[in-house]
Structure 1
Amino acid sequence: MKIRHIRNATIVIECGPYQILVDPMLAPKGALPPLKFSGGMVRNPTVELPTEAEAALQGVTHCLITHCQKGHFDHLDRAGKAWLRHHQIPVICTPHDAPHLASKGLNVQPLQLNEQGVGRFFEGQIRTIACVHGRGFVGSFMEHGVGYFIEMPGEPSLYLSGDTILTPDIAQFVVANQPAVSVVPAGGARFDFGGDIIMGVEDVLEFARISEGLVVANHLEAISHCPVTRQALASAAQKAGVAARLRIPADGEAIDVNRHVAPLMYA
């Protein structure tokens, strides 16, 4: 398995014959509106796509969406929708998001989930894990979405947390299942009011403490309401003694997961 970080929450997972694009935000720098009134009304994304993005997209076979409604363009923007429509990429999503995505003309393949949120995923299985995309008043405006726990034959188990803060339920899930690799947001995003709507430095450090696997941080230095920098997170991880288990990829960087963790022989 390889994970290529594209930008923000957009990644490409190479898993056997499949290359799965997750939460595509493909707009050029500054093409999307600001997310905060304070701080100069900076437009988004704040950086261009990396040069590696074009080649990575050429190999994509499927797309996986964690959440996309209520204006969450940083996980699926107009450019991402247009690209998916043009290439007729199968878009895997929850039953909740399927009608919305189908209305945009996408090739939707909703997951068939049982009451426990578990379904088939190619030759393996996928499980949905509830997200808490902010609490209180600000949380009432958010599309909370899901994270995914993916188990494939001969591959490391993979947890894509989606946009969430670290909740007791997520911590309990991590301790009980110990994903071989987890991809978590780290930008500490917040609006002009309310608290964090995704994990920030302290949540990521705590996640790395309770996880025995590799932790990959994303949602950094690409959206105007995410104040955490890669350097600040790396420095904090070093001081906390978890730097060896935490990867903070640059835009365009690929991580060969198999070099860091052993595969899970899913049956």
Structure 2
Amino acid sequence: MRIQFLRNATLLIEWNNKRILVDPLLGAKGSYDPVANTANEIRNPTSELPLTPAALQTVLAALDAVIVTHTHRDHWDAAAQELLPKNITLFCQPEDEEKIKGQGFTQVIPVNDTLTWEGISMHRTGGQHGTGEIGRKMAPVSGFVLNDGQNSLYIAGDTIWCGEVMNTLDTYKPTYTVVNAGAAQFVTGDPITMTANDVINVINHTARTKVIAVHMGAVNHCFLTREALAVAVNAQQLSCFIPEQGDWITLS
């Protein structure tokens, strides 16, 4: 199993001879308006994909499935809706099924709880995309645990450190966990994705999962950088994968 980090929360997973794309943000740099009510007006995405258009087309043509944790624009953008084959197998949370079907996709499979696909079991998990009223407005969001009977991968999705994340770690004890960091924030309210302290809490949890931190350096309301997260993790003498765009991570 290996993962290529593309941008924001977009991952290409190669597992059991299958290729799965997670949370595709495929538009060109600066092609979308900035997230509103934030501390800057930088257009999104704030970085380019680490693939040429031809290389991206090659990746998309070889896909077996897509996972969309939720349909916020930085996880499921207009370019992804245009470029992906409409008959691709697409897993999502139940609340997004009709929306994605309405965009023309014909093989949309909502994951209510657990299902098995091509030898990989898939469990949908919960999360909190912020606190208080903002967290309620940002809901619903989901994470997914993938398991082949030997290794497991927890894609936490857009969530802060919360009871749902702790329960998932305790229940599934994933070998690897991908967390969406960046400490995304509006001008009011608390962060809506993981801060450095949240990531450290995941690393320190008794499940002892190996953490991969993404969701930084691509959207204007994410203020935690890869460099700052690395400093915070190193200060605690902890270990965390913090990939650059385009990096591959081989998972044993």
TM over 0.5, yes or no?
yes
Give the match for residue 165 of structure 2: 170
Distance 2:193 2:111 in 1: 27
- CA displacement at 1:193 relative to structure 2: 1.3
Answering whether residue 146 of structure 2 is matched by residue 150 of structure 1, we say: yes
Give the match for residue 17 of structure 2: 17
Q: Describe the SS at the equivalent of 2:140.
A: coil
Give the AA of the match of 1:160: I
Give the match for residue 66 of structure 1: 69
TM-score w.r.t. the length of structure 2 is 0.92
Contact (CA 8 Å) 1:217, 1:249: kept in 2 or not? yes
Distance 2:39 2:111 in 1: 43
Contact (CA 8 Å) 1:85, 1:105: kept in 2 or not? no
Trace 1:36-75 onto structure 2 (pairs within 5 A): 36-51=36-51, 54=56, 55-68=58-71, 72-75=72-75
- CA displacement at 1:83 relative to structure 2: 1.1
TM-score w.r.t. the length of structure 1 is 0.87
Contact (CA 8 Å) 2:121, 2:146: kept in 1 or not? yes
Give the match for residue 104 of structure 1: 103
Give the match for residue 79 of structure 1: 79
- Assess, with a 3 A threshold, how the Cα gap between structure 1 residues 34 and 131 changes in structure 2: closer, same or farther: same
Which stretches in structure 1 are left out of the alignment for 5+ residues?
259-267
Which stretches in structure 2 are left out of the alignment for 5+ residues?
none
Contact (CA 8 Å) 2:89, 2:109: kept in 1 or not? no
Give the AA of the match of 1:119: L
Contact (CA 8 Å) 2:39, 2:221: kept in 1 or not? no
Number of aligned residue pairs? 248
Residue among 235, 238, 242 paired with 1:248: 242
Q: Describe the SS at the equivalent of 2:100.
A: helix
Deviating more after overlay: 194-203 vs 54-63: 54-63
Give the match for residue 129 of structure 2: 133
Give the AA of the match of 1:128: R
Contact (CA 8 Å) 1:185, 1:200: kept in 2 or not? no
Deviating more after overlay: 208-217 vs 226-235: 208-217
Which segments of structure 1 move beyond 4 Å, counting only runs of 4 or more? none
